[in-house]
Amino acid sequence: MGHWIAGTDRPGNSGRTAPVTDPATGRVTGAVAMAGPEEVRTAVAAASAAFPAWRDTSLSRRTAIVFRFRELLNARKGELAQLITAEHGKVFSDALGEVSRGQEVVEFACGIPHLLEGGFTQNVSTGVDAYSVHAPLGPVAIISPFNFPAMVPMWFFPIAIATGNTVVLKPSEKDPSAALWMARLWTEAGLPAGVFNVVQGDKESVDALLTDPEITAISFVGSTPIAEYVYASGTATGKRVQALGGAKNHAVILPDADLDLAADALVSAGYGSAGERCMAISVAVAVGDIADDLVARVAQRTRGLRIGDGHGEADMGPLVTRGHRDKVAGAIDIAEGEGARVVVDGRAATGTSDADIDVSQGFWLGPTLLDHVTPAMAAYREEIFGPVLAVVRVAGYEQALELINSNPYGNGTAIFTRDGGAARRFQYEVEVGMVGINVPIPVPMAYYSFGGWKSSLFGDTHAHGVQGVHFFTRTKAVTSRWLDPSHGGLHLGFPRND
Protein backbone atom coordinates (compact mmCIF):
# COMPACT_ATOMS: atom_id res chain seq x y z
CA MET A 1 0.00 0.00 0.00
CA GLY A 2 1.13 3.52 -0.69
CA HIS A 3 0.17 7.09 0.12
CA TRP A 4 -2.88 9.34 -0.26
CA ILE A 5 -1.99 12.67 -1.83
CA ALA A 6 -4.30 15.28 -3.35
CA GLY A 7 -7.30 12.98 -3.19
CA THR A 8 -5.82 9.91 -4.87
CA ASP A 9 -3.86 6.77 -4.05
CA ARG A 10 -0.18 7.17 -4.84
CA PRO A 11 2.19 4.20 -5.07
CA GLY A 12 5.53 4.62 -3.37
CA ASN A 13 8.50 5.47 -5.58
CA SER A 14 11.33 5.57 -3.03
CA GLY A 15 12.06 1.87 -3.51
CA ARG A 16 11.75 1.20 0.22
CA THR A 17 8.97 -0.83 1.84
CA ALA A 18 8.19 -2.31 5.26
CA PRO A 19 6.26 -5.50 5.99
CA VAL A 20 2.79 -5.38 7.54
CA THR A 21 2.00 -8.38 9.74
CA ASP A 22 -0.96 -9.97 11.44
CA PRO A 23 0.27 -10.17 15.06
CA ALA A 24 -2.04 -13.10 15.84
CA THR A 25 -0.49 -15.35 13.20
CA GLY A 26 2.92 -13.76 12.64
CA ARG A 27 2.14 -13.81 8.92
CA VAL A 28 3.17 -10.98 6.62
CA THR A 29 -0.04 -9.68 5.07
CA GLY A 30 1.32 -6.88 2.93
CA ALA A 31 3.95 -4.23 2.38
CA VAL A 32 3.75 -0.50 2.93
CA ALA A 33 5.74 2.05 0.96
CA MET A 34 8.25 4.16 2.87
CA ALA A 35 8.15 7.76 1.69
CA GLY A 36 11.33 9.59 0.86
CA PRO A 37 11.79 13.37 1.02
CA GLU A 38 10.42 13.86 -2.51
CA GLU A 39 7.13 12.13 -1.71
CA VAL A 40 6.77 14.06 1.53
CA ARG A 41 7.40 17.27 -0.41
CA THR A 42 4.67 16.29 -2.89
CA ALA A 43 2.19 15.74 -0.08
CA VAL A 44 3.07 19.03 1.61
CA ALA A 45 2.79 20.83 -1.73
CA ALA A 46 -0.69 19.37 -2.18
CA ALA A 47 -1.69 20.58 1.28
CA SER A 48 -0.24 24.02 0.56
CA ALA A 49 -2.08 24.28 -2.75
CA ALA A 50 -5.37 23.30 -1.13
CA PHE A 51 -5.03 25.64 1.85
CA PRO A 52 -6.18 29.01 0.39
CA ALA A 53 -9.45 27.64 -0.93
CA TRP A 54 -10.14 25.60 2.20
CA ARG A 55 -9.34 28.57 4.46
CA ASP A 56 -11.81 30.64 2.43
CA THR A 57 -14.51 27.96 2.51
CA SER A 58 -17.38 29.10 4.70
CA LEU A 59 -17.49 27.83 8.25
CA SER A 60 -20.93 26.37 7.60
CA ARG A 61 -19.64 24.38 4.64
CA ARG A 62 -16.60 23.16 6.56
CA THR A 63 -18.65 21.91 9.49
CA ALA A 64 -21.15 20.27 7.16
CA ILE A 65 -18.33 18.17 5.67
CA VAL A 66 -17.05 17.28 9.15
CA PHE A 67 -20.57 16.24 10.12
CA ARG A 68 -20.87 14.12 6.98
CA PHE A 69 -17.57 12.44 7.88
CA ARG A 70 -18.99 11.74 11.33
CA GLU A 71 -22.11 10.13 9.87
CA LEU A 72 -20.11 7.92 7.51
CA LEU A 73 -17.72 6.94 10.29
CA ASN A 74 -20.56 6.07 12.63
CA ALA A 75 -22.21 3.87 10.00
CA ARG A 76 -19.02 2.04 9.03
CA LYS A 77 -16.79 2.12 12.10
CA GLY A 78 -16.87 -1.67 12.29
CA GLU A 79 -14.84 -1.77 9.04
CA LEU A 80 -12.19 0.46 10.56
CA ALA A 81 -12.09 -1.58 13.76
CA GLN A 82 -11.52 -4.78 11.75
CA LEU A 83 -8.51 -3.18 10.04
CA ILE A 84 -7.07 -2.15 13.40
CA THR A 85 -7.45 -5.65 14.84
CA ALA A 86 -5.85 -7.22 11.77
CA GLU A 87 -2.73 -5.01 11.92
CA HIS A 88 -2.37 -4.01 15.57
CA GLY A 89 -3.76 -7.15 17.20
CA LYS A 90 -6.04 -5.60 19.84
CA VAL A 91 -9.37 -7.35 20.27
CA PHE A 92 -12.24 -6.13 18.10
CA SER A 93 -14.25 -4.63 20.97
CA ASP A 94 -11.21 -2.60 22.02
CA ALA A 95 -10.64 -1.45 18.44
CA LEU A 96 -14.29 -0.44 18.18
CA GLY A 97 -13.94 1.51 21.42
CA GLU A 98 -10.88 3.28 20.01
CA VAL A 99 -12.84 4.40 16.96
CA SER A 100 -15.73 5.58 19.11
CA ARG A 101 -13.46 7.70 21.32
CA GLY A 102 -11.93 9.26 18.22
CA GLN A 103 -15.40 9.91 16.87
CA GLU A 104 -16.11 12.02 19.95
CA VAL A 105 -13.50 14.51 18.74
CA VAL A 106 -15.12 14.56 15.30
CA GLU A 107 -18.41 15.38 17.02
CA PHE A 108 -16.69 18.11 19.04
CA ALA A 109 -15.34 19.58 15.79
CA CYS A 110 -18.89 19.74 14.39
CA GLY A 111 -19.51 22.50 16.91
CA ILE A 112 -16.38 24.47 16.07
CA PRO A 113 -18.16 27.68 14.96
CA HIS A 114 -18.90 28.58 18.58
CA LEU A 115 -15.21 28.21 19.53
CA LEU A 116 -14.04 30.29 16.56
CA GLU A 117 -16.13 33.23 17.68
CA GLY A 118 -13.97 36.33 17.91
CA GLY A 119 -14.37 39.48 19.98
CA PHE A 120 -15.61 42.93 18.91
CA THR A 121 -15.42 46.28 20.64
CA GLN A 122 -17.14 49.26 19.08
CA ASN A 123 -15.77 52.79 19.21
CA VAL A 124 -12.49 52.09 21.03
CA SER A 125 -11.54 55.51 19.72
CA THR A 126 -13.63 58.02 17.84
CA GLY A 127 -14.97 56.16 14.82
CA VAL A 128 -12.60 53.24 15.43
CA ASP A 129 -13.64 49.61 16.08
CA ALA A 130 -11.40 46.76 17.27
CA TYR A 131 -11.94 43.04 16.92
CA SER A 132 -10.09 39.73 16.91
CA VAL A 133 -10.38 36.63 14.73
CA HIS A 134 -9.00 33.10 14.96
CA ALA A 135 -7.08 32.36 11.77
CA PRO A 136 -5.92 28.90 10.62
CA LEU A 137 -2.19 28.19 10.47
CA GLY A 138 -1.86 26.52 7.06
CA PRO A 139 -0.57 23.00 6.30
CA VAL A 140 -0.04 21.01 9.53
CA ALA A 141 1.48 17.57 10.12
CA ILE A 142 0.34 14.75 12.40
CA ILE A 143 2.76 11.98 13.36
CA SER A 144 0.85 9.19 15.10
CA PRO A 145 1.82 5.94 16.89
CA PHE A 146 0.98 2.30 16.25
CA ASN A 147 -1.11 1.70 19.36
CA PHE A 148 -4.07 3.88 18.33
CA PRO A 149 -3.96 4.15 14.53
CA ALA A 150 -7.45 5.73 14.37
CA MET A 151 -8.07 7.48 17.67
CA VAL A 152 -4.83 9.42 18.00
CA PRO A 153 -5.01 10.96 14.49
CA MET A 154 -8.63 11.83 15.29
CA TRP A 155 -7.46 13.73 18.36
CA PHE A 156 -6.00 16.24 15.91
CA PHE A 157 -7.25 16.23 12.32
CA PRO A 158 -10.98 16.95 12.91
CA ILE A 159 -10.10 20.17 14.74
CA ALA A 160 -7.32 21.08 12.31
CA ILE A 161 -9.64 20.64 9.33
CA ALA A 162 -12.67 22.32 10.92
CA THR A 163 -10.61 25.39 11.80
CA GLY A 164 -9.46 25.75 8.17
CA ASN A 165 -6.08 24.04 8.06
CA THR A 166 -4.88 21.32 5.69
CA VAL A 167 -3.28 18.11 6.96
CA VAL A 168 -0.45 15.70 6.20
CA LEU A 169 -0.75 12.57 8.36
CA LYS A 170 2.23 10.24 8.86
CA PRO A 171 0.88 7.07 10.54
CA SER A 172 2.92 4.22 11.99
CA GLU A 173 4.26 1.84 9.39
CA LYS A 174 3.19 -1.07 11.64
CA ASP A 175 -0.55 -0.52 11.02
CA PRO A 176 -0.93 1.83 8.05
CA SER A 177 -4.34 0.85 6.66
CA ALA A 178 -6.49 2.84 9.08
CA ALA A 179 -5.08 6.16 7.88
CA LEU A 180 -5.80 5.35 4.23
CA TRP A 181 -9.32 4.18 5.10
CA MET A 182 -10.04 7.48 6.86
CA ALA A 183 -8.58 9.45 3.93
CA ARG A 184 -10.99 7.77 1.54
CA LEU A 185 -13.85 8.42 3.94
CA TRP A 186 -13.00 12.13 3.96
CA THR A 187 -13.21 12.16 0.16
CA GLU A 188 -16.59 10.45 0.32
CA ALA A 189 -17.71 13.10 2.81
CA GLY A 190 -16.88 15.82 0.29
CA LEU A 191 -13.55 17.10 1.55
CA PRO A 192 -11.65 18.78 -1.30
CA ALA A 193 -8.54 17.08 -2.65
CA GLY A 194 -5.36 18.04 -0.84
CA VAL A 195 -6.98 19.02 2.47
CA PHE A 196 -6.18 15.60 4.01
CA ASN A 197 -3.10 13.67 2.86
CA VAL A 198 -1.34 10.54 4.10
CA VAL A 199 2.34 9.71 3.68
CA GLN A 200 3.62 6.40 4.98
CA GLY A 201 7.13 6.11 6.29
CA ASP A 202 9.67 6.06 9.07
CA LYS A 203 12.23 8.51 10.47
CA GLU A 204 13.14 9.71 6.98
CA SER A 205 9.61 10.96 6.35
CA VAL A 206 9.33 12.38 9.87
CA ASP A 207 12.50 14.40 9.39
CA ALA A 208 11.23 15.68 6.06
CA LEU A 209 8.05 16.95 7.75
CA LEU A 210 10.01 18.51 10.61
CA THR A 211 12.16 20.52 8.25
CA ASP A 212 9.69 21.37 5.49
CA PRO A 213 9.25 25.16 5.48
CA GLU A 214 5.57 24.98 4.52
CA ILE A 215 4.54 22.85 7.49
CA THR A 216 3.40 25.28 10.18
CA ALA A 217 2.70 22.92 13.08
CA ILE A 218 3.40 19.37 14.24
CA SER A 219 1.22 17.14 16.43
CA PHE A 220 3.03 14.05 17.68
CA VAL A 221 2.32 11.10 19.98
CA GLY A 222 4.96 8.49 20.82
CA SER A 223 7.78 7.67 23.19
CA THR A 224 9.40 10.38 25.30
CA PRO A 225 12.82 10.32 23.56
CA ILE A 226 11.19 10.77 20.14
CA ALA A 227 8.73 13.35 21.47
CA GLU A 228 11.64 15.39 22.78
CA TYR A 229 13.41 15.04 19.42
CA VAL A 230 10.32 16.11 17.48
CA TYR A 231 9.77 19.09 19.77
CA ALA A 232 13.39 20.26 19.56
CA SER A 233 13.62 19.75 15.80
CA GLY A 234 10.24 21.27 14.98
CA THR A 235 10.58 24.35 17.15
CA ALA A 236 14.11 24.90 15.83
CA THR A 237 12.57 25.47 12.40
CA GLY A 238 9.92 27.82 13.78
CA LYS A 239 7.00 25.40 13.93
CA ARG A 240 4.35 25.17 16.59
CA VAL A 241 4.73 21.71 18.22
CA GLN A 242 2.71 19.58 20.62
CA ALA A 243 4.62 16.36 21.32
CA LEU A 244 3.00 13.87 23.68
CA GLY A 245 5.48 11.37 25.12
CA GLY A 246 5.60 8.29 27.28
CA ALA A 247 4.08 7.36 30.61
CA LYS A 248 4.44 5.37 33.79
CA ASN A 249 0.94 5.61 35.18
CA HIS A 250 0.40 4.85 38.87
CA ALA A 251 -2.80 3.82 40.60
CA VAL A 252 -2.87 4.41 44.36
CA ILE A 253 -5.02 1.99 46.34
CA LEU A 254 -5.75 3.32 49.83
CA PRO A 255 -6.59 0.95 52.71
CA ASP A 256 -10.26 1.97 52.68
CA ALA A 257 -10.74 1.23 48.97
CA ASP A 258 -13.20 -1.32 47.61
CA LEU A 259 -10.59 -3.94 46.72
CA ASP A 260 -12.83 -5.79 44.29
CA LEU A 261 -13.44 -2.55 42.38
CA ALA A 262 -9.72 -1.77 42.50
CA ALA A 263 -8.71 -5.25 41.34
CA ASP A 264 -11.15 -5.15 38.42
CA ALA A 265 -9.85 -1.72 37.45
CA LEU A 266 -6.18 -2.71 37.67
CA VAL A 267 -6.66 -5.79 35.50
CA SER A 268 -8.72 -3.87 32.94
CA ALA A 269 -6.38 -0.88 32.81
CA GLY A 270 -3.17 -2.87 33.05
CA TYR A 271 -3.84 -5.55 30.45
CA GLY A 272 -6.32 -4.02 28.02
CA SER A 273 -4.86 -3.76 24.52
CA ALA A 274 -1.98 -5.91 25.84
CA GLY A 275 -0.79 -2.91 27.85
CA GLU A 276 0.05 -1.00 24.66
CA ARG A 277 -1.62 2.19 25.84
CA CYS A 278 -0.07 5.42 27.05
CA MET A 279 -2.88 5.52 29.62
CA ALA A 280 -2.39 1.95 30.84
CA ILE A 281 -1.89 1.51 34.58
CA SER A 282 1.54 -0.06 34.89
CA VAL A 283 2.18 0.55 38.62
CA ALA A 284 -0.21 -0.31 41.43
CA VAL A 285 0.77 1.45 44.66
CA ALA A 286 -0.62 -0.57 47.55
CA VAL A 287 -0.87 1.57 50.68
CA GLY A 288 -0.67 0.03 54.15
CA ASP A 289 -1.52 -3.57 54.90
CA ILE A 290 -3.79 -4.31 51.93
CA ALA A 291 -1.06 -5.45 49.51
CA ASP A 292 -1.34 -9.21 50.02
CA ASP A 293 -5.12 -9.15 49.67
CA LEU A 294 -4.97 -6.84 46.64
CA VAL A 295 -2.33 -8.93 44.88
CA ALA A 296 -4.35 -12.11 45.45
CA ARG A 297 -7.47 -10.55 43.94
CA VAL A 298 -5.59 -9.17 40.93
CA ALA A 299 -3.84 -12.50 40.37
CA GLN A 300 -7.10 -14.44 40.48
CA ARG A 301 -8.63 -12.19 37.83
CA THR A 302 -5.48 -12.14 35.71
CA ARG A 303 -5.27 -15.92 35.51
CA GLY A 304 -8.81 -16.04 34.08
CA LEU A 305 -8.11 -13.81 31.09
CA ARG A 306 -8.44 -15.35 27.62
CA ILE A 307 -5.51 -14.66 25.29
CA GLY A 308 -6.12 -15.02 21.58
CA ASP A 309 -6.92 -13.72 18.13
CA GLY A 310 -8.66 -10.37 18.44
CA HIS A 311 -11.34 -11.29 15.90
CA GLY A 312 -12.72 -13.91 18.31
CA GLU A 313 -13.85 -13.91 21.93
CA ALA A 314 -10.47 -13.23 23.53
CA ASP A 315 -9.98 -10.63 26.27
CA MET A 316 -6.46 -9.70 25.16
CA GLY A 317 -4.67 -10.06 21.85
CA PRO A 318 -1.00 -10.35 20.88
CA LEU A 319 1.65 -7.66 20.96
CA VAL A 320 2.21 -5.66 17.80
CA THR A 321 5.50 -7.21 16.61
CA ARG A 322 7.75 -10.12 17.51
CA GLY A 323 10.52 -7.71 18.42
CA HIS A 324 8.32 -5.84 20.86
CA ARG A 325 7.05 -9.09 22.34
CA ASP A 326 10.62 -10.21 23.01
CA LYS A 327 11.52 -6.83 24.50
CA VAL A 328 8.65 -7.03 26.99
CA ALA A 329 9.57 -10.61 27.89
CA GLY A 330 13.13 -9.42 28.47
CA ALA A 331 11.86 -6.75 30.86
CA ILE A 332 10.15 -9.47 32.90
CA ASP A 333 13.41 -11.44 32.96
CA ILE A 334 15.24 -8.39 34.30
CA ALA A 335 12.58 -7.73 36.94
CA GLU A 336 12.80 -11.29 38.19
CA GLY A 337 16.59 -11.06 38.27
CA GLU A 338 16.41 -7.85 40.30
CA GLY A 339 14.25 -9.48 42.96
CA ALA A 340 10.66 -8.86 41.92
CA ARG A 341 8.26 -11.72 42.57
CA VAL A 342 6.57 -12.95 39.38
CA VAL A 343 3.07 -13.76 40.69
CA VAL A 344 1.53 -14.37 37.25
CA ASP A 345 3.98 -15.15 34.44
CA GLY A 346 2.90 -14.50 30.85
CA ARG A 347 6.17 -15.36 29.14
CA ALA A 348 5.10 -18.86 28.09
CA ALA A 349 1.60 -17.91 26.97
CA THR A 350 0.17 -19.06 23.66
CA GLY A 351 -2.89 -17.65 21.94
CA THR A 352 -6.05 -19.29 20.73
CA SER A 353 -8.34 -18.62 17.81
CA ASP A 354 -12.05 -19.14 17.33
CA ALA A 355 -11.44 -19.57 13.61
CA ASP A 356 -9.56 -22.27 11.78
CA ILE A 357 -6.28 -20.38 11.55
CA ASP A 358 -2.80 -21.16 12.79
CA VAL A 359 -1.81 -18.78 15.60
CA SER A 360 1.21 -20.74 16.76
CA GLN A 361 3.57 -18.10 15.35
CA GLY A 362 1.71 -15.13 16.82
CA PHE A 363 3.38 -12.55 19.02
CA TRP A 364 1.95 -13.84 22.28
CA LEU A 365 2.79 -12.72 25.78
CA GLY A 366 0.29 -13.17 28.56
CA PRO A 367 -0.60 -10.74 31.33
CA THR A 368 2.13 -10.62 33.94
CA LEU A 369 1.86 -9.51 37.57
CA LEU A 370 4.99 -8.45 39.46
CA ASP A 371 5.02 -7.94 43.23
CA HIS A 372 7.56 -6.37 45.59
CA VAL A 373 8.81 -4.05 42.87
CA THR A 374 10.93 -1.14 44.11
CA PRO A 375 11.66 2.24 42.51
CA ALA A 376 15.26 1.14 41.91
CA MET A 377 14.19 -1.65 39.55
CA ALA A 378 14.12 -1.26 35.77
CA ALA A 379 10.52 -2.57 35.74
CA TYR A 380 9.56 0.54 37.70
CA ARG A 381 11.80 3.11 36.03
CA GLU A 382 11.21 2.22 32.38
CA GLU A 383 8.10 2.30 30.23
CA ILE A 384 7.57 -1.37 29.30
CA PHE A 385 4.49 -0.79 27.12
CA GLY A 386 3.19 -4.30 27.49
CA PRO A 387 0.88 -6.38 29.73
CA VAL A 388 3.01 -6.04 32.84
CA LEU A 389 1.56 -4.69 36.10
CA ALA A 390 4.03 -3.91 38.89
CA VAL A 391 2.95 -3.69 42.53
CA VAL A 392 4.88 -1.30 44.77
CA ARG A 393 4.19 -1.40 48.51
CA VAL A 394 4.28 1.78 50.62
CA ALA A 395 3.37 2.55 54.22
CA GLY A 396 1.15 5.59 53.74
CA TYR A 397 -0.43 8.20 51.50
CA GLU A 398 2.55 10.58 51.68
CA GLN A 399 4.94 7.92 50.35
CA ALA A 400 2.55 7.11 47.51
CA LEU A 401 2.25 10.77 46.56
CA GLU A 402 6.00 11.27 46.67
CA LEU A 403 6.51 8.21 44.47
CA ILE A 404 4.29 9.67 41.77
CA ASN A 405 5.51 13.25 42.02
CA SER A 406 9.17 12.24 41.84
CA ASN A 407 8.60 10.13 38.74
CA PRO A 408 9.80 11.80 35.51
CA TYR A 409 6.52 10.99 33.77
CA GLY A 410 3.23 12.73 34.50
CA ASN A 411 0.66 11.43 32.03
CA GLY A 412 -2.18 9.77 33.96
CA THR A 413 -2.85 8.53 37.47
CA ALA A 414 -5.69 7.20 39.60
CA ILE A 415 -6.65 6.80 43.23
CA PHE A 416 -9.03 4.25 44.72
CA THR A 417 -10.66 5.24 47.99
CA ARG A 418 -14.00 5.79 49.75
CA ASP A 419 -12.65 8.93 51.41
CA GLY A 420 -13.71 12.09 49.57
CA GLY A 421 -11.23 14.21 51.51
CA ALA A 422 -8.33 11.97 50.54
CA ALA A 423 -9.43 11.98 46.90
CA ARG A 424 -9.73 15.76 46.85
CA ARG A 425 -6.32 16.14 48.45
CA PHE A 426 -4.79 13.74 45.91
CA GLN A 427 -6.25 15.47 42.86
CA TYR A 428 -4.88 18.77 44.18
CA GLU A 429 -1.41 17.59 45.20
CA VAL A 430 -0.51 15.08 42.50
CA GLU A 431 1.71 16.40 39.68
CA VAL A 432 0.09 14.60 36.77
CA GLY A 433 -1.93 15.89 33.84
CA MET A 434 -4.92 13.52 34.00
CA VAL A 435 -6.34 12.19 37.26
CA GLY A 436 -8.93 9.49 37.91
CA ILE A 437 -10.83 9.03 41.17
CA ASN A 438 -12.01 5.43 41.28
CA VAL A 439 -11.55 5.59 37.49
CA PRO A 440 -8.46 3.74 36.22
CA ILE A 441 -8.10 5.29 32.76
CA PRO A 442 -9.03 8.98 33.06
CA VAL A 443 -9.06 9.80 29.34
CA PRO A 444 -10.95 13.12 29.14
CA MET A 445 -14.01 13.67 27.01
CA ALA A 446 -13.34 15.46 23.72
CA TYR A 447 -14.42 18.84 25.06
CA TYR A 448 -11.66 18.64 27.68
CA SER A 449 -8.01 18.37 26.71
CA PHE A 450 -5.76 15.30 26.72
CA GLY A 451 -2.16 15.62 27.84
CA GLY A 452 0.35 14.98 30.56
CA TRP A 453 2.94 16.91 32.53
CA LYS A 454 6.70 16.64 32.89
CA SER A 455 8.35 14.25 30.42
CA SER A 456 4.97 13.14 29.10
CA LEU A 457 4.47 16.36 27.14
CA PHE A 458 6.77 18.71 25.24
CA GLY A 459 5.07 21.97 24.41
CA ASP A 460 2.41 23.80 26.37
CA THR A 461 -0.73 22.73 24.50
CA HIS A 462 -2.69 19.54 25.07
CA ALA A 463 -4.67 17.62 22.47
CA HIS A 464 -8.31 18.28 21.48
CA GLY A 465 -10.78 20.35 23.46
CA VAL A 466 -10.42 24.12 23.61
CA GLN A 467 -6.62 23.79 23.75
CA GLY A 468 -6.75 21.93 20.44
CA VAL A 469 -8.64 24.83 18.87
CA HIS A 470 -6.03 27.24 20.22
CA PHE A 471 -3.21 25.09 18.85
CA PHE A 472 -4.57 25.04 15.30
CA THR A 473 -5.41 28.74 15.15
CA ARG A 474 -3.66 32.04 15.81
CA THR A 475 -5.24 35.28 16.85
CA LYS A 476 -5.37 38.27 14.55
CA ALA A 477 -6.31 41.62 16.04
CA VAL A 478 -7.87 44.16 13.67
CA THR A 479 -8.39 47.86 14.26
CA SER A 480 -10.57 49.56 11.67
CA ARG A 481 -11.90 53.00 10.84
CA TRP A 482 -14.13 53.98 7.94
CA LEU A 483 -13.53 57.64 7.27
CA ASP A 484 -15.55 60.44 5.81
CA PRO A 485 -13.75 62.62 3.22
CA SER A 486 -12.44 65.03 5.90
CA HIS A 487 -10.02 62.57 7.49
CA GLY A 488 -7.82 65.18 9.11
CA GLY A 489 -4.60 64.97 7.08
CA LEU A 490 -1.14 63.82 8.16
CA HIS A 491 -0.23 63.01 11.75
CA LEU A 492 3.18 61.51 12.57
CA GLY A 493 2.69 61.09 16.30
CA PHE A 494 2.07 57.74 18.00
CA PRO A 495 -1.59 56.70 17.66
CA ARG A 496 -3.73 57.83 20.60
CA ASN A 497 -7.16 56.67 21.67
CA ASP A 498 -9.10 59.91 21.91
Give, as one character, the DSSP assignment of residue 278: T
Q: In one letter, which amino acid is 208?
A: A
CA distances from 239 to 46, 51, 140, 330, 469 (A): 19, 17, 9, 38, 16
* CA distance linking residue 85 with residue 102, whole number of Å: 16
* CA distance linking residue 28 with residue 24, whole number of Å: 11
Q: Is 110 a catalytic residue?
A: no
Angle (CA) 419 423 425, round 5°: 115
* CA distance linking residue 442 with residue 432, whole number of Å: 11
* CA distance linking residue 258 with residue 269, whole number of Å: 16
Sequence-distant contacts of 492-497: CB under 8 A, at least 24 apart = 496/125, 497/124, 497/125, 497/128
Q: 268, 280 in Cβ contact below 8 A?
A: no
Strands (E), 112-216: 119-125, 128-136, 139-143, 166-170, 196-198
Distance of CA 243 to the CA centre of its chain: 10
Catalytic residue among 278, 280, 284, 340: 278
Among positive and negative, which fits the CA dihedral 266, 268, 269, 271?
Answer: positive
* CA distance linking residue 259 with residue 293, whole number of Å: 8
* CA distance linking residue 201 with residue 407, whole number of Å: 33
Distance of CA 449 to the CA centre of its chain: 11
Q: 44, 206 in Cβ contact below 8 A?
A: no
Collapsed DSSP state (helix, strand, coil) of residue 455: coil
Collapsed DSSP state (helix, strand, coil) of residue 275: helix
Angle (CA) 313 318 323, round 5°: 170
- Residues sharing a CB contact under 8 Å with residue 402, sequence separation 6 or more, in sequence order: none
* CA distance linking residue 431 with residue 378, whole number of Å: 22
CA atoms within 13 A on the CB side of 39: 27
Active site residues: 278
